[in-house]
């Protein structure tokens, strides 16, 4: 079976995310409803544009879902801004480079602080969470660490992580280069070789 194009996989997202079984975490045994949509990093701008359109479609009639987007990169910026360190971080990056910046701000964006920030965004009535900004937040945040820490918080809310790399149901490879870590508790949302008719 030929692999689906990125556009075919993106077009399959809306009907998949409208599925009552996904939204109610049915049909996945005792597992939590975490899903990963993986794609080649070259398609990042396309995926970003599509996510904005997807959110609008999901939140408008006839769906009218309550959707929260968690952008990990923006979360880092928000945490720095709250501490009044954002401009200093930009200056440090400009003067000393990314490595110095990462070393300096890493203690400020530990996973527990990021999770606390995400918890503050939750209203308690969300029906779906979309996680973006994974590539831009690397290496400060590792996606498997964030997912693991979100288990107790989003145990009843399905989450879709948009991952610029590859995920085979066992291993995450960011940018198809860096092995993030083994992660077994998420489902590939739209596999690369799935028949399109399954989602239409």
Tens digits of per-residue pLDDT, 113-165? 999 999 999 998 999 999 999 999 988 888 888 998 998 898 889 999 999 99
Alpha helices per DSSP H over the chain: 6-11, 13-18, 20-23, 44-59, 72-82, 86-96, 98-105, 111-121, 134-137, 143-150
Structural tokens at position 119: 């918890």
Average pLDDT of the residues in 174-188: 77
Q: Is the pLDDT confidence value at 45 over 50?
A: yes
14 closest CA partner among 63, 51, 47, 54: 54
Say how many residues make up the chain.
200
Query: CA-CA distance, 11 to 199, in Å (whole number)?
Result: 9
The secondary structure of 29-42 as a DSSP string is TTS--EEEEEE-GG
Give, as one character, the DSSP assignment of residue 91: H
Cα 25 to Cα 60, 122, 185, 189: the distances in Å are 22, 19, 13, 13
The per-residue pLDDT for 107 is 85
Instruction: Return mean pLDDT, the chain.
Output: 87
CB atoms within 10 A of CB 22: 19
What does the pLDDT look like over 57-69, one tens digit per residue?
999 998 899 999 9
Give, as one character, the DSSP assignment of residue 198: G
Q: Is the pLDDT confidence value at 53 over 90?
A: yes
Q: Which residues pair with 182 in a beta bridge?
A: 171
First-last CA distance in the chain: 18
């Amino acid at each position: 079976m030929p692999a689906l194009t990125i556009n075919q996989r993106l077009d399959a997202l809306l009907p998949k995310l409208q599925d009552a079984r996904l939204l109610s975490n049915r049909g996945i045994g005792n597992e939590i409803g975490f899903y990963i949509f993986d794609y080649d990093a070259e398609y990042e701008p396309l995926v970003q544009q599509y996510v904005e359109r997807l959110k609008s479609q999901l939140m408008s009639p006839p769906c009218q879902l309550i959707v929260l987007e968690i952008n990990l990169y923006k979360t880092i910026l928000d945490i720095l801004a709250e501490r009044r360190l954002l401009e200093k971080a930009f200056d440090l990056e400009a003067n000393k480079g990314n490595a110095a910046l990462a070393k300096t701000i890493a203690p400020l964006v530990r996973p527990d602080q990021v999770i606390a920030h995400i918890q503050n965004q939750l209203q308690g009535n969300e029906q779906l969470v979309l996680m973006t900004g994974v590539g831009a937040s690397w290496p400060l945040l590792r996606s498997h660490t964030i997912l693991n820490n979100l288990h107790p918080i989003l145990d009843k809310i399905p989450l879709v992580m948009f991952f610029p790399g590859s995920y085979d149901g066992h291993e995450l490879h960011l940018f198809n280069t860096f092995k993030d870590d083994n992660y077994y508790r998420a489902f590939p949302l739209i596999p690369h070789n799935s028949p399109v008719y399954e989602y239409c």
